[in-house]
A and B are shown apart, each in its own frame.
Chain A
Amino acid sequence: MELRAKPRADAARVLLAWLVLGVVAWRAAAGASEAWGELASRPARQHVRAFTTRPEVLVARQLGADVGILLALRAHAAGARELRLSFVPRPDALRALKRRTAMLSGYLYPTALLAWPHDPRARAAGGTPAPGREGFVLDLDSGRDYSRWPGCEVLAEGPDWKLLRLRPGSG
């Protein structure tokens, strides 16, 4: 019995091993074809873009319209340690905001982006400006009223942003 069972087990093993090899061959063919298809379908210029495009252009492409913010910061606030980010903390827009600012902060470092949320309802209820605010502010359409900071200066602006400087003692 045992003698008969062993060849049977070995035969089953051999069959299994061939089946396994069949799956591997199928997947290898599929993998090679997918890889070739993906590589061959791209225009040649994409394969050499790294050599033909300056790094600033690649960064600008990632940032899209926000590249204006990066350029404004480099022109007006280069070397600043901190930049306050004024925004309205709307739950529905928070994810997009997080993504946008994460990308920006990656290129801005070592300038640190510090959240300075603005809640218009709290403001209307009679909130007073935080004392001692100074330095650079990136305002993302927050609607914050900067007239409370008399020395405030707008350094640059884009479609939905403003780069401002709050002067010491103006808060």
Chain B
Amino acid sequence: MTLGPLALLSVVGIPLALGAALLRLQGIVPRTDRLAYLGWAWIQGALGVGLGLSAWLWVGAPLRAAWLAPAFLVVAGLTLALARRRVPVLEPRAEGRAFPRWERILFALAVAAMLAALADRILLASGWAVAASDEALIYASKAKVIFHAGDFGAEFRRGLALPGFVQHPDYPPLNPLLQVWVHAHAGEVVHVENRLPIQLFGPALVLVAAAALRRRARPGVAALFLVCIATLNFTEMSMRKAYADLLVAVGALVVWDLWQRHREDGERAWLRLLATSACLLVWSKNEGLLHVVAFGLAAGLPLLLRRRPEGRAALRTLAAWGVPLLASILYLAWFNAHFGVGNDLVASWTSLEAPPELETRGQGLTLERASQRVAPILASFARQVLRDPERSQGLLFLFLLLVLLDPPRAFARARAAFTVGLLIVQLGYLAVYLGTGWEIERHLATSLHRLVFHLLPAQGLWVCLYVAATLPRLASGRVDAPFLRSR
């Protein structure tokens, strides 16, 4: 280990403190949801550190933890002071039904075991330096370029332009920025601990998923779904490699869980948290933008069309707290344009300057090309649904099965937006493959399992909602029946 205990404490503790302050600004305190709180705090804090570091790099201030850590602590303190004076706290809901002690202990054990398993995987992964695969070529390389440049100036531009060093330089920068946060603590580039802030989204996923599942289902049932989500092939893989796909999966789960929470109890604080947490999607991977668009179409558009005052009020909250999200989308697009980097998929449709390894360049998105791809895309997708159960733990299969077999429940008012949103993302992903400039089999083989993973935790929650709605004895009793059962 290069970092000492104090530095490690700062790497983890300062984002958590910043996240806690940002949560308080949105009316969320630990007692609002004791289980999800640390997960939400990590998401908010990591985003806060990413944004803060971006601003820091534009200013060109020294990239040293001795400067950065106090600055973030001051921001957290000021935010907390402001929030405590002005923002009311969202109190927790009344407890649901009472369940046997053994069942509650079983759930607690499941949460603890999943957290321990992920923590152990982090330790195992830390026995290997970052060296190859996407974690090195896409994310760690960009982090090195940022850290050595020290700002977003000419040196950063030179590093991005080095042939073959940073792959996909257009990818959103949260993952590399969080690695820079670690480098800044070490005062040099490190090759092991830099994974840590990304890996911590694994425990965050477990906590957020546990809270979301337990809110709707009785402890024993919630434990089963939680184990499925925590042992997904890619959840475990994300502890070994610092990919950004885990961040998208966590973001999608949080967004849809919070949306359902708002539908269930009408609390506006969930919408505030939803709008700010959605930034995680766009700061993590380009696919995150598709999730945001899908949410806008499935949940936002109906609110816009609805005439009822509560719908209007919800829309106003989303619009007001969605400003950081909109600003993020615009900033990230500008950032890429400023440094002359772009998405190679888009380049393959529009330009002859796309990377030479692309199969087709500048040929546009033709119907003929797309039609030749339908069969391999569907075949690969079917393999993801039906084969390799450890990849999806059956959650994708169950989601699609329930949508097909029971559309009245799947598209009932209480859950329609959730269902439609997940389907839009799924279709959007498949549509991307129709127009890809990469050789289709290779593109599918290297990416489809990642894209499927982005939705799996949210699909797990969706399936759990269905089970709790249909079998009331298995529900938690915390959520009003109509919002589970659907009308």
Contacts and interface: CB of A to CB of B under 8 A. Distances in A.
A32 B463 CA distance: 19
Interface footprint category on B:
35 or more
Interface in B116-131: 117, 120-121, 123-124, 126-131
**In terms of DSSP, what is the predominant structure of the interface of chain B?**
helix
A98 B225 CA distance: 42
Contacts of A103: 131-132, 136
B405 A16 contact: yes
Interface of B: 1-2, 113, 117, 120-121, 123-124, 126-132, 136-137, 140-141, 144-145, 148, 159, 162-165, 189-192, 221, 223-225, 227-228, 230-232, 236, 389-390, 393-395, 397-398, 401-402, 405-406, 409, 463, 466-467, 470-471, 474
Contacts of A13: 406, 409, 470
A112 interface: yes
B227 A106 contact: no
A153 interface: no
A50 B395 CA distance: 34
Interface residues of A, number: 47
B470 A14 contact: yes
11 contacts: A16-B470, A24-B225, A24-B398, A31-B230, A31-B390, A39-B120, A47-B124, A58-B129, A61-B128, A102-B132, A102-B136
A31 B43 CA distance: 26
Contacts, number: 143
Contacts of A32: 113, 227, 231
B225 A107 contact: no
B1 A55 contact: yes
Contact of B148 (A23, A62, A110): A110
A28 interface: yes
Interface string A4-25: 0000000001101110110111
A129 B406 CA distance: 73
A17 B124 contact: no
Interface of A: 13-14, 16-18, 20-21, 23-28, 30-32, 34-36, 39, 42, 46-51, 53, 55, 58-59, 61-63, 98-99, 102-103, 105-107, 109-110, 112-115
